[in-house]
Amino acid sequence: MRGVALLMAKAPVATALISVIVPTLGEAAALPRALDDLDALDGRWEVIVADGGSTDGTSDLARTHRSRPRVLDAARGRARQMNAGAGVARGQALIFLHAHTRLPPDAYARITAALAEGVQGGNFALRFEDDGGLYGRYLTWVYALQRRTGYYYGDSAIWLRTDAFAALGGYRDLPIMEDRDLVQRLERRGATACLPGPAVTSARRWRAWASAAPWQCGSRSGCSTRSACREAVAQRGVCPAGLN
């Protein structure tokens, strides 16, 4: 993949630099907390915010944050933004983190331990926040069930070795489901792991997908999987950038 080094400088895994790439588009409300949480984590982190042309001041908030992340102005599109971030990353491993997802406190120790065992990549167990509602619990259960069959998506903090990402050619330039496409190729490459935590994300966007999906799939109760919901919403004419 262009811009991603195929050979990484050797370093002890326990002290490896890990690059966190945060793709953003209109994330002024969520990004400050995301950066605060990353700044509070133990470990050696490099944080890269890859902005796709936000008009709400997202990139300005990133540039003035006390953690001083690297900020890129990238071509719009989640896959393009994440590839741009990976292209300048210096870490031995990459995490692609949505602005509304928070890593567990021991994320660094978990990843470095997995790297030492030769794991190629994976994700984190995921819990959905829903202000104490049952919908968040339901999504948490569904996601855990899907993960057992090798299905996981970007909101669960996909991570992988930098050289593995380069060998896979990065994210393909797809309007939607670019995360699922990468995961399928990663799973075929070698050992992966769903690391405990859990990571925490918001259930609000899933509510939007589920409410729109029945108009296309014919279900009265909504779709139970993210892939079906995302595809249905996309078919309805919603801009894919708004689905990320």
| Domains of the chain with CATH codes | 13-126+152-196 (3.90.550.10)
CB 49 within 8 A of CB 70: yes
pTM: 0.80
Six token digits for residue 35: 């950066």
236 exposed, middle or buried (CB, 10 Å; 0-12, 13-18, 19+)? exposed
CB 217 within 8 A of CB 232: yes
Highest mean predicted confidence (pLDDT) among 8-17, 178-187, 217-226, 227-236: 178-187
Q: What is the pLDDT of residues 79-117, one digit of tens each?
A: 999 999 999 999 999 999 999 999 999 999 999 999 999
Six token digits for residue 218: 């014919």
Helix (H) or strand (E) holding 61: helix 58-63
pLDDT, position 223: 44
Q: What is the pLDDT of residues 17-63, one digit of tens each?
A: 999 999 999 999 999 999 999 999 999 999 999 999 999 999 999 99
**Cα 6 from Cα 66, distance rounded (Å):** 32
Six token digits for residue 169: 């050619």
Residue that the structure tokens 């919403």 belong to: 233
DSSP letters for 117-153: TT--EEEEEEEEE-TT-HHHHHHHHHHHHHHTTT---
Q: What is the pLDDT of residues 132-153, one digit of tens each?
A: 667 677 777 777 777 777 778 8
**Cα 126 from Cα 240, distance rounded (Å):** 23
**Cα 50 from Cα 201, distance rounded (Å):** 19
